A and B are shown apart, each in its own frame.
Chain A
Amino acid sequence: MDAVTRDNEVTGEVIILRLYVSGMAPKSMEAIANVKRICDEHSGYCFDLEIVDIYKNPEAAAREQIICSPSLIKESPSPRRVLIGTLSDAVKVKRAIGISG
Chain B
Amino acid sequence: MTKEATVSELLLKIADLENRLEESEQLAEAIKAGEVDAFAINTENEAAVYTLQSGDYAYRILVEAFKEGAINVSEDGLILYTNSYFCELLGLSYDKIIGTSLYDFIDPGCLKDFRILFQEAITGISKGEILLAGKHSPIPVYVSLTSLRPKLTTVGIVITDLTEQKRTENLIKNYQTDLENKNTELIQSNSELASFAYIASHDLQEPLRKIQTFASRITGMEDTLSDSAKDHFDRMKKAANRMQTLIEDLLNYSQTNSVIRNFEKTELHKLVEDVKKELAEELEVKEATVVAGEMCTVEIIPFQFKQLFHNLINNSLKFAHPDKKPIIEISSKSVKGETLDDEKIIPEKEYCHISIADNGIGFEPEYSKKIFDIFSRLHGREVYKGTGIGLAIVKKITDNHEGIIRATGEPDKGARFDIYLPARTHTPK
B64 to A23, Cβ gap below 8 A?
yes
A61 to chain B, nearest CB (A): 4
Q: Please give me the residue from chain B that is nearest to A82 by CB atom.
A: B23
**Does B18 touch A at the CB level, under 8 Å?**
yes
The residue of chain B having its C-beta at the shortest distance from the C-beta of A51 within the complex is: B98
Q: Is the interface of B mostly helix, strand, loop or mixed?
A: mixed
Find the B residue at minimum CB distance from A87. B35
The answer to whether A81 touches B36, judged by C-beta atoms less than 8 angstroms apart, is: no
Q: Which of B16, B47, B72, B95 contacts A61 (CB 8 A)?
A: B47
Residue A33 CB within 8 A of the other chain: yes
| Given the contacts A36-B99, A49-B99, A86 and B35 also touching, CB distance less than 8 Å | yes
Q: How many residues of A contact B (CB 8 A)?
A: 45
* Contact of B78 (CB < 8 Å), options: A33, A65, A69, A83: A33
Q: Which residue of B lies closest to A37 (CB)?
A: B78
Find out whether the CB atom of B60 lies under 8 angstroms from the CB atom of A61: no
Q: Which of B16, B46, B81 contacts A23 (CB 8 A)?
A: B81
Interface residue? B146 (CB, 8 A): no
Interface string of A24-62 (1 = CB under 8 A from B): 111111001101100000000000011111111011011
CB 8 Å contact bits of B29-62 with A (1 = contact, 0 = none) = 1110101111111100011110100000000100
Q: Give A49 to B80 CA distance when docked, in angstroms.
A: 14
Question: What is the distance, in angstroms, from A94's C-beta to the closest C-beta of chain B?
Answer: 14
| In the bound complex, CA of A85 to CA of B36 (Å) | 6
A4 at the interface (CB under 8 A from B): yes
Q: Are A54 and B29 in contact (CB under 8 A)?
A: no
Tell me, in angstroms, the Cα distance from A93 to B74 when the chains sit together: 21
A67 contacts which chain B residues (CB < 8 A)? Answer: 39-41
User: How many interface residues does B have (CB within 8 Å)?
Assistant: 41
For the complex, what is the distance from the CA of A68 to the CA of B375, rounded to whole Å?
Answer: 86
Q: Is the pair B26, A84 in contact by a Cβ cutoff of 8 Å? A: yes
- Asked whether A68 lies within 8 Å of B27 as measured between CB atoms, the reply is yes
Give the distance in Å from the alpha carbon of A49 to the alpha carbon of B63 in the complex: 25
Residues of chain A within 8 A (CB-CB) of B15 are: 1, 3-4
In the complex, the answer to whether B80 meets A58 with C-beta atoms within 8 Å is no
User: Min CB distance, A69 to chain B, in Å?
Assistant: 4
Within 8 A of A (CB), among B1-27: 11-12, 15-16, 18-19, 23, 26-27
Cα–Cα, bound, A85→B51 (Å)? 14
A69 to B53, CA, bound (A): 13
Query: Hey, which chain B residues are within 8 Å of A63, CB to CB?
Result: 42, 47
Contact residues in B for A23 (Cβ distance below 8 Å): 60, 63-64, 81
Complex Cα–Cα for A56 and B19 (A): 30
Structural contact, A24 and B41, CB atoms closer than 8 A: no
B332 at the interface (CB under 8 A from A): no
Asked whether, in the complex, the Cβ of A50 is within 8 Å of the Cβ of B39, the reply is no
Chain B nearest CB: distance from A77 CB in Å? 14
CA distance A25 to B40 in the complex (A): 14
Chain A residues near B27 (CB-CB < 8 A): 68, 82, 84
B30 in complex: contacting residue of A20, A55, A81, A84, CB < 8 Å: A84
| A70-B37 contact, Cβ under 8 Å, with A24-B72, A50-B95, A56-B94 | yes
Q: Would you give the shortest CB distance from B107 to chain A, in whole angstroms?
A: 23
A16 at the interface (CB under 8 A from B): no
**Residue in chain A with minimal CB distance to B60:** A23
Contact at B36–A33, with CB atoms within 8 Å? no
Contact, CB under 8 Å: A62 / B19: no
Assembled-state Cα–Cα distance A21/B39 (Å): 10
- Contact of B195 with A by CB under 8 A: no
Which residues in B have their C-beta under 8 angstroms from that of A59?
47
Distance (whole angstroms) from the CB of B84 to the closest CB of chain A? 7
Residues of chain A lying within 8 A (CB to CB) of residue B29 = 85
Q: Are A4 and B40 in contact, CB atoms less than 8 angstroms apart?
A: no
* Inter-subunit contact B38/A69 (CB<8 Å): yes
**The residue from B30, B46, B60 contacting A68, defined by CB atoms under 8 A apart:** B30
B374-412 CB mask vs A (1 if < 8 Å, else 0) is: 000000000000000000000000000000000000000
Residues of B within 8 A of A92 (CB): 26
Q: Is there contact, CB below 8 Å, between B31 and A68?
A: yes
Q: Are A54 and B49 in contact (CB under 8 A)?
A: yes
Q: Measured between alpha carbons, how far is A69 from B48 in the docked complex, in Å?
A: 13
- Could you tell me if B36 and A24 are in contact, using CB atoms closer than 8 angstroms? no
What CA separation (Å) do A4 and B39 show in the bound complex? Answer: 30
Residues of A near any B CB (own CB < 8 A) = 1, 3-4, 19-29, 32-33, 35-36, 49-56, 58-59, 61-63, 65-70, 79, 81-86, 92
19 sample A-B contacts, Cβ–Cβ < 8 Å, listed by A number: A1-B19, A22-B38, A27-B35, A29-B81, A54-B40, A55-B60, A56-B64, A62-B47, A68-B30, A69-B37, A69-B39, A70-B36, A70-B37, A82-B23, A83-B26, A84-B30, A84-B31, A85-B26, A85-B35
